[in-house]
Structures are given as C-alpha cells and as structure tokens.
Structure 1
Amino acid sequence: MKRFRSRFLNAQFVILFIVFSMMIVFLGNLFEGILFESASQEALSNMWLILIFSFAAAFFIIIYISLRISNQLTKPLEGALKVANELASGNFKARTYEYKLDETGQLSHALNILARNLQTMTTSYEIQQNRLMTLIENMDSGLILIDSKGHINLVNRFYKDTFQIQVNDYMDLLYYEAIPYRDIIRIVEETLLVEQTVRKQVELEVGIEIRHFDVSGAPILDQDNKLKGVVLVFHDITELKKLEQMRKDFVANVSHELKTPVTSLKGFAETLLDGAMENKAFRTRFLTIILNESDRLQSLIQDLLDLSKMEQKHFSLNWQVVDLKEVIDDCLLMTQSKAEKKGIEVNVQYEGNLHIKGDTNRLKQVFLNLIANSITYTPEDGKVTISVKESSDIVQFIISDNGIGIRKEELPRIFERFYRVDRARSRNSGGTGLGLAIVKHLVEAHHGRIDVKSELGDGTTFVITLNKKRHF
C-alpha cells in the first residue's frame, strides 16, 4: 500500500510539473508575442516573473490538495489491508476504523463484519472442540482414532490408564506397529475392509492379569461415503465376566449341594421300601442317615434364604444394645461338646466395655459360624484363641487357630458362596459353603469390617471390627 501510494504521488508530481511547464512556456510565448512590440524588455521580464511565481504558487497549492486527497483515499485502504493480513494470519479480533459511508467505508464495514463472524465461528468451534475432548478424555471406555492411512491420531485417558501406556507410544504411529494385540489389529483390518462396524469380545493381557473387553471398530465416512479412518472403542467387561462366572458357579454349586442330600434321601428310602425296613439295625441306621441328610438339606436351604434376604435392599437389622461377652459365651456353650470331642482347648479373653449397637441374633450367627469353623479345621488336641477388646469407638473380635490354614492365592475367594478351601473335609463336616459369605454380609450390614490372615499349615486368624455406635 505504501509503494502504491508513493507511485501515485510521484506520477501526480511528474504530470503536474510537465503540465505547468508547458503552460508557462505556452503562456509566456503567447504574452511575449502579443506584447513584444509595445512592451519593454524590463516589463517582459517582470511579466515572466509574475507568471512563474503565480504558476508556482498554484502548483504547490494543487500538490497540497492532492496530498490531502491521496491520504483520504489510501488511509482506509491501508487499514483494510492490515486487517485483511491479520485475518489471514488467524487473528480474528482485528478491526479497522470505519470512515465515511463511501466505497472505502463500506469496505471497512464489510471487513469488520467478516472478522466478527469469523471470531464467533472460531469461538463456537473451540467450545465444541473442548466439549468433545472433555467427553472423550473422561468417558468410561477406551478410544483410539486411526486415520485413512493407518496412523493413530488420538488415544484417550481411559485407554492410557487401562493399558498403562504413554502418548508417545501410539501417536502418529501405524496402528499395527503401536498396538501389541493381534486380535485388535484384526478388528481394524476387518473394519477397513468391509467399511462396517465390527464388534468382538476379546481377552487381552494387561500387566499380570487377563482382562475382558468388548471392542467395537467403526468406520469414519465423509459425505461421499469415502473412508476417512476408523475409531476403536474398548468397553471393559472384566467385572461382568466375573459376575457371570460367579452366577454359573453358584448355579452349579447349588445344584450339586442339593443333589447330594436328595440322592441320599431317595436312595435310603428306596432301600427301606425294598425290604431293609424289616431289619431293625438297618432301619435305625438308614433312618438316622435320612434324618442327618434332611438336617443338612434344611440347613442349606435356610442359608440360601438368609443370604438372599441379606442381598436385598430392604434387608434391615434389629438394632439394640448387645453385650458381646454374653453373645460369645452362648456361642462357646453351643460349640463346647464339639471342641471337647476333638480335645481342642478354647481360650477367651475379654477387655473393656463390650456393649455395642447391633442385632443380637445376627451377631450370634457371625460368631457361632467363625468359632465352629475354627474348631472344624483345627486338628485334634489343637488350640483356639479368642480375644475381644474395646478400643476407642470400636470393638475387635479376634479368633485364631493352629489348624490347616489357607493358601495365599485362595484368601481373596474364601468369602464367595460355596467356595471351599478343602472341599472333602467341608462336606464331611456338614458345611454348606455359605457360612463365610453370610458372615461377611452381616458384618458389612453392621458397618463393620472383616479381615483374614493365614498361612498354609500354620492356622488362620479372623479379625472383625465393629463400631460401638450405630452408623446411619
């Protein structure tokens, strides 16, 4: 713009200078021809001086006026050009001064409208981009974006945290070089081939564990249905798989546990009906077995009903003041004959105020189950130690034995329904496999906590922590 303005002024100066020179020469010759005969040489010289001075003054006046006009014409254009350059560089906040409502003023006004529209569009786009990135980064599923050339353009936080990777491990790399799982690479290849959504469930090794994922590969198509890339979405279904497996195990275990006593009842009843009833010794023995199996079946059904009630939302406890010493003494009295038969020594120690808020019958169910288990899994002439002590706002119940113990890898599963550390001994002892699951539910219903420590062959210790006051 400055170069244009300079050229414009230079051209004006040259043209004006030529025009005025020609006019001076022409007029001078004209006047000299007309006045030559009557005017003296001095008068002619004065006339030339006056003529030159007049035209010089007129020349400078015209130059001044031209400069003013030039500034008025070029200044708005310079401002418009500056704003246009700023808009081209991405600065949509730039504005130009709107002069008079002539052509240059309309140009400045149009540029300002364009700048405002671009700024509004850019702000709206940035808001949408921020919302989209926030949604992608905080979604509860992993996401990978792959372009049409196979390069990875985006990896969200869930995927990075789940698979414990860094951004540099994936960004701008080819998907088959960055992703270490062959099953995922096949999903991408199939999606690129058929250009349709591909969904599969896969097992992937993540660190030291195997996790289950529902993976969806969806093609990204433009308006002309041309493939622009692929988006992979990873849904972690590991917990669902675990719950499904637990359900299957529960159904299988319930079926097995119910089948065993029912088979015994049916078998011995048929034997009696086939003639064994006439033999008094057989009749007494078989009826005793039938009674024991009926008790076992009743106990199993009762435990299942109790567990079902505890897992329901409306399950509630009968809150009252409970004397733990009295409850535990009752449990010891109920298990005394069993301990004496095996020659097991049971030692009890009480410390502090052992009155808490809780459900007496449910707490008795908890302690009776744990004491009976300790006696069951402690060998003959063994030892069971019980300690109940007050500490600040809590009371701890600790029971230890020197029994068979539990392997470390089995400790996380001992509170599962029907899970048995020693299946043969559990069945022979008449256990249902639901006792510890019920204990855990009841302790948590009291807003307490149960912990277990054990070493194989070195006994087991259960610690129950209960609050003295009810927590709502």
Structure 2
Amino acid sequence: MIGLVLGQLLATSLLCLMAILTLDLAHGVTQEMLLTGAGIALIGLLVAGGFVLGARSSSRKAERTCLTCAAARNDRDLEEELANVRSMLRIAERRAQAANMAKQAFVSQLNHDIRTPLNHILGFTDLIKKQTFGTLGDPRYLAYLDDITRSGEVLMNSFGHILELAAIETGQKALNITQVDLRRFEGRLLMEYDEKAKKRGIALSIALPDDVNLSADFNCLHRIVGQLLSNALRFTPRGGEVRLDAFRFNDSIVFRVSDTGVGIAPEQLEMLNLPFAFADYETKSRKPGKGMGLAVSRTLAELSGGELRVDSTLGIGTTVAVQLPMRPLATLPAAKSVQSAPAALVA
C-alpha cells in the first residue's frame, strides 16, 4: 500500500516537473535550476504541499482571463470601427443624393433656359424664310437665313447631346424594351438620311436583316445608329459612300456603319472614350459635333448592355460597330453583357 502511494507521488512529481519545464521563463524559474538536486527536492516539497499544480492552474486561468479581455477589447474596437464606417457611408450617400438632385435641377433649368430661346430662333427663322408676310427683297437675306438655321440646328443638336449625357449620368435615362422590326427601322432611317445624303452627293446604302428578333429600346437604338449615320455623312466628302449593315453574332446583333470619309488619326482613336476628345480634330476639320455624338452613342450602347468599337484610317475612312444583346435589355446588368465579336468582323 505504501509502495503504491509512493509510486503515485513519484509519477505526479515527474508530471509536475515536465509541466514546470514548459512554463515561460518569466515565472522566475529556469530549467537549469530545476535540474539540480536542490531543485528536485524543492519540487518534491511543492508537490507534497500541492503548490505546483495550483500555480499551474492559476497561470492558465490568468492567461485565459487576459485572452478573454483582449478579445472583448478587440470586439469593442471592431464594433466602433464598423459603426464609424457605417456612419461615414450614410453621410456620403446623403451627400451624393443631394448632389444628384442638384444636378438634375440644374439640367432641367438649363434645358428650359437654352432650348426655349433656341426653338424661338429656329421657328421665326423658318417663318421668315417662307416669306409668310411678304418678300424679303434681296436674295442674300435667304442665304443668311439658311446660315442662321444651320447654326441653330448645330447648337440645338450639341446641347441635346449634353443633356442626354447628363440624363444618363444622373440615372434619368430608363430603357423601354419592345420588339424591334428591323425592316421598319431600315425604312425610317432611309426616310431620314437618304435625302441628306443625296444633297451632299454621297451614296447611302442601308441593308438590315429581316430574320432577326431583336428586343431593344427603339428610341435608344435609333439614337445610336442615327448618330453614327449623321457622323458618317458629315465627314464624308462629295462622291463618297456611307454604308449601314447588320449581322447576328452569337446572342447579339452588330450594327456596322462604314464611310469613305476623312478618317481619324491614331492619336484621336485613343481618346474616343472622352466626350470632348475631338475638339482639336473638329476645329481643324471645321465640322463640329462628332466627339459628343460618338460619346452619346457609346454611352447608350453601354447602357443597353453592349459596346461600341471604332476602326479608322486617316484619309481612307472609318467603320463604327455597335454590338447589342438580343435578349430583353431590362434584365441585363449595367456592365457589358455581350461577347465581343472578332475585330475582323467589325472592321
């Protein structure tokens, strides 16, 4: 019986020795001290008094308490940081909403203050050109009125581009998805642009497929393609050609407008994503409006889940391809939703 007790005591002492040897040196007892005869004797006395196990237990409890306190502090710090971030986000959101509302109000006021007098100018100019209340006399007056009309139309068109870009940016532009009859769309484009092409001495051809079921916002589609045709006619000299065709690629349709016009320099091609990038080029060509018009077409194409690409050679001509998804656009995300057609197809 005594031997069994001594054996248990010895085993306990050895376990305690191993436990103490693993303690941090900050406890004040080094491993070398414990391995001496005095150290072993001390261990025996401590074991007999139950001190070692109690010290080890207290150390573990203290460590757990410290870890718990640290974790609690970390949790509180994280909660405070999250609360601060949420508060900052709410403030930023309110400021963004206020700025957006202010921009909408400004655009609306600008629309009234500029478009109204422009409409008056164009309306009365047309009335005078028709000589409703009597002849003008000198034929030069009619030529001047033509200049006034053209300048007013250019100004109205450019201002319309600015308003449209602002409406898209502020989220006022929404898509109205309907089934588009491409044959009717082709007829409308011919009715609008064929006479303009003939007056400029330009051969215009439009050929759209009739076996494609396209769901799109008709006004948006008309704005995109019509603007590209206007640009092509404006920058193509007399005797040149402008061609519009379309083809299906996977789940998308590609509208392609090609011309034999002045073309675009490589350094200008790199800047096409910017609304006013064509300022210098347009000044030299004396034909304003291409930069903003192209920016509107690109932005509307992206709003519809598509993309716009330009390929051009200075002095030879330009091809602009707009790729749009076939499925209803209202279900598409804001980002591009089409797989880009190979460059060889749109060039």
* SS class of match (1:348): strand
User: Normalized against structure 2, the TM-score is what?
Assistant: 0.59
* SS class of match (1:84): helix
Number of the residue aligned with 2:22 = 86
Cα 1:123–1:87 shift into 2, 3 Å: farther
1:455 equivalent among 286, 289, 313: 313
User: Normalized against structure 1, the TM-score is what?
Assistant: 0.45
Moved more, 342-351 or 78-87: 342-351
Number of the residue aligned with 1:298 = 156
The residue correspondences of 1:71-470 to structure 2 (distance < 5 A) are: 76-88=12-24, 104-118=49-63, 280=138, 283-351=141-209, 353-420=211-278, 422-424=281-283, 428-431=286-289, 433-470=291-328
Cα 1:456–1:76 shift into 2, 3 Å: same
What is the root-mean-square deviation of aligned Cα atoms in Å? 4.2
Cα 1:345–1:282 shift into 2, 3 Å: closer
Q: Distance in 1 between matches of 2:203 and 2:141?
A: 37
How far the C-alpha of 1:439 sits from its partner, in A, is: 0.8
How far the C-alpha of 1:119 sits from its partner, in A, is: 6.2
Cα 1:89–1:315 shift into 2, 3 Å: farther
**Matched residue count:** 256
Rg larger in structure: 1
CA deviation map 1:283-331 (0-9, x unaligned):
4444443333332322222222222222232421232211123223322
Higher helix share: 2
**Are 1:446 and 1:466, in contact at CA under 8 Å, matched by a contact in 2?**
yes
Cα 1:282–1:400 shift into 2, 3 Å: closer
**Are 1:352 and 1:390, in contact at CA under 8 Å, matched by a contact in 2?**
no
Q: Distance in 2 between matches of 1:414 and 1:321?
A: 31
Q: Distance in 1 between matches of 2:66 and 2:314?
A: 69
How far the C-alpha of 1:363 sits from its partner, in A, is: 1.5
**Are 2:311 and 2:318, in contact at CA under 8 Å, matched by a contact in 1?**
yes
Q: Distance in 2 between matches of 1:382 and 1:466?
A: 28
**Are 1:76 and 1:105, in contact at CA under 8 Å, matched by a contact in 2?**
no
Q: Distance in 1 between matches of 2:326 and 2:8?
A: 90
**Are 2:275 and 2:292, in contact at CA under 8 Å, matched by a contact in 1?**
yes
How far the C-alpha of 1:376 sits from its partner, in A, is: 2.0
Q: Distance in 2 between matches of 1:397 and 1:286?
A: 38
Structure 1 unaligned residues grouped into runs of 5+: 1-63, 91-98, 133-253, 266-277
Structure 2 unaligned residues grouped into runs of 5+: 27-43, 78-109, 122-135, 332-347
Cα 1:345–1:412 shift into 2, 3 Å: same
What letter is aligned with 1:299? N
**Are 1:325 and 1:354, in contact at CA under 8 Å, matched by a contact in 2?**
no
Q: Distance in 2 between matches of 1:359 and 1:69?
A: 94
How far the C-alpha of 1:352 sits from its partner, in A, is: 5.0
Higher relative contact order (CA 8 A, sep 6+): 2
CA deviation map 1:228-257 (0-9, x unaligned):
xxxxxxxxxxxxxxxxxxxxxxxxxx9xxx
How far the C-alpha of 1:126 sits from its partner, in A, is: 10
What letter is aligned with 2:283? A
Cα 1:390–1:467 shift into 2, 3 Å: same
Higher strand share: 1
